[in-house]
Structure 1
Amino acid sequence: MKRNIIWLLVIFLLVMPNNAEAKVEEYKVVSELPEENIILYAKKKNGLFQDFRIHFKGETYFRPFWMNVTNPTYAPELFYEDIDKDGKKELIITLTKGSGSGVRVEEVYVYRYSNGLIDILVDNPLAIIYKNVKTKLTSEKAEIIVGDKVSIVDTKSIEPSHLFEDISFGSIIDYEVINKNLMVRVSGQITPAMFVGDFIIVYEYCNKMYQAKTIDFIPYFSIDTNPFYGPVKH
């Protein structure tokens, strides 16, 4: 009997490390900054990347509830830049929760390092828009007011029955780090298949969180002035 127990213990010790190794192998690299020794891992489950791990300069952080679509076009992005102008770099991670025709919904996480990665709150871009932007949509025009700036987009060529009651937001939320600034592009939608332009929010670090520094509306007929199109400088 004792001999059987000993053999069971030996088998248990031999098998367990192999199982643990197999579990680790389920993770795959989904984004990395090799020059900074920063790697983002995730498992592919039910058509999504889930159960993330951040390897940050030799330290590991677990984010089991994060999700990202598996389409390579919308892979998670890593940035390591000084976006709060304090002389120290922050880690910025963007994840795409939803994608498709006319849909790109991202979320962003910002960390500073102080004896470990510390999560910094980023103000919700939709809340920023609803607080600071006024809109009106009719069969003749879309009117967008940001501060004292009024933008008008002609809608006469659009079938009135296709128009929404007002400009809608939320189907495109796209974060980027441009010229060491955290920015987000939120598109304004006027029909199920048509957008009127983009709201560009530039964040700044204020009162221990990232808040809107500037908000600008760029109509789609002025796409050449939109920093999210063309070469992006991080």
Structure 2
Amino acid sequence: MLKQAKVRIRMTGLLIIAGLLLLASCSATKNEQPVKDSGSADSGYVASEAPPTAATVSNEPDFKPEQLAFIQGKDIYLYSQESEGVTLQVGDKEQSFDWIYATPRDIPPHMKALDYDGDGGDELAVDLYMGSGTGVSVEQLHVIELNDTGLENGHFFKDYVYIPDVYLGQLHDAVAFSLSNDDDALSGQITIGDHLYTVNLEPYKASDLGPINEGLVFGSIVRFTLEDKVIKAEFGAGITAGSAVSPQYIGVIQGEVLYSDGQFQLTNIQFAETESIQIEH
């Protein structure tokens, strides 16, 4: 007899990525304020704009900023600062941002300037690699409004961040998970909208760990891909057994990120089963 227990996604964070998520939340400048969304709760985050800083300013005369990324033909450059953070140069305007970008794997930022919200002007999407570890690979998505006018204190650009609280909440709302035993074969059923995905969980059973827990784990694998007119997202979907903290990945949740007026929304969500998830790019 089919036994099925519908549960909401277990969104508890993994201990191994607590430091990474803290770094992600601190990667904006110090006076961060949440975006006020009149239509829905928490769909974006805005980081206060730091004062413009020339890319060549340094206390060390021999310091030379490293060019981290650029967009050919659009006069947009991203430079390292001497200690931490970056300088964004757009034409003759420069502004500092307290972003994390340097990791042991040395994966550079990726940028693309397109009209993501359909307002007739380009926004700058930036994908930052925050770091990795055992079973961990976390990226962070920023969208910079390039055409805002009337900003205070000489600031040029507004920086909006797709923070974990937002995308984990959207995953929680969109994805349902249940365990079932049919003919004593354990499977996981993932429901996204009208689509039902069934994953054989028998290979993931381990007697020394205890039974598989009811709930998917997200947050330790987060990836963004900047394509023409589309920002794609991918989140590792894991399961745990007993009191084990580290998940075993049964697949990924894929989707597209829509951006408008400082807000982010995950759409076109689907599940893809994978035999393994590669951490390295």
Normalising by the smaller structure, the TM-score range is: 0.7 to 0.9
Deviation at 1:95, TM superposition (A): 1.2
Distance in 2 (CA, whole Å) between partners of 1:153 and 1:140 is 9
Give ranges in structure 1 of 5+ residues lacking alignment: 1-18, 224-234
1:37 aligns with 2:75: yes
1:187 aligns with 2:236: yes
1:61 aligns with 2:95: yes
Distance in 2 (CA, whole Å) between partners of 1:112 and 1:134 is 34
The alignment yields a C-alpha RMSD, in angstroms, of 2.8
* Number of aligned positions between the proteins: 199
- What are the superposed Cα offsets for residues 81-110 of structure 1, whole Å, 9 maximum, x if unpaired? 222233322101111222134321111110
1:23 to 1:167, Cα distance in 2 relative to 1, 3 A:
farther
Give ranges in structure 2 of 5+ residues lacking alignment: 1-56, 150-155, 241-245
1:79 maps to 112
Deviation at 1:54, TM superposition (A): 0.9
Deviation at 1:156, TM superposition (A): 0.7
Say which of 167, 173, 195 aligns to 1:131.
173
1:159 to 1:151, Cα distance in 2 relative to 1, 3 A:
same
- What are the superposed Cα offsets for residues 50-97 of structure 1, whole Å, 9 maximum, x if unpaired? 321111222111113x21243455221111122223332210111122
* Residues 68-147 of structure 1: pairs in structure 2 closer than 5 A: 68-71=101-104, 74-114=107-147, 115=149, 116-120=156-160, 122=162, 124-137=166-179, 140-147=186-193
Distance in 2 (CA, whole Å) between partners of 1:73 and 1:162 is 38
1:198 maps to 252
- What are the superposed Cα offsets for residues 140-197 of structure 1, whole Å, 9 maximum, x if unpaired? 1122111121111101122332775222111111011223112211110125363111
The TM-score normalised by the length of structure 2 is: 0.61
Distance in 2 (CA, whole Å) between partners of 1:23 and 1:109 is 31
Letter matched to residue 274 of structure 2: Y
Larger radius of gyration: 1
1:100 to 1:92, Cα distance in 2 relative to 1, 3 A:
same
Aligned residues with identical type, % of pairs: 21
Deviation at 1:204, TM superposition (A): 2.2
